[in-house]
Amino acid sequence: MPPPKDEDDSGGEEEEEEEEHENALCGACGDNYGQDEFWICCDACETWFHGKCVKITPAKAEHIKHYKCPNCSSSSKRARA
């Protein structure tokens, strides 16, 4: 007889995602991921940043379609010049 299944199998995926983020370092300050902090990912270089480090609030982030971090923003400006 197979062992009984856990009723809540969805928790494993969530835990894996949390563990993945725990290793994330802010591209601006170098500090670790904190669950209670807002983070935003650059769509160009895929680096994560604390919202406070790049002056982006959760409300402001809702209106951003493609976020570019300060490094990628200045790189694209230099490439055009």
Task: Quote the Cα angle for 29-33-7, to 5°.
Answer: 170
**Digitized pLDDT (tens) for each residue of the chain, 81 residues in all:** 555 555 555 555 556 555 666 678 999 999 998 889 999 999 999 999 999 999 999 999 999 999 999 999 987 666 655
pLDDT tens across 46-58, in order? 999 999 999 999 9
List beta partners, residue 40: 49
Q: Write down all domains in the chain, each with its CATH number in brackets.
A: 15-80 (3.30.40.10)
Q: What pLDDT score does 35 carry?
A: 83
CB 64 within 8 A of CB 38: no
What are the Cα distances from residue 63, in Å, to 24, 30, 49, 59, 67? 24, 26, 17, 7, 10
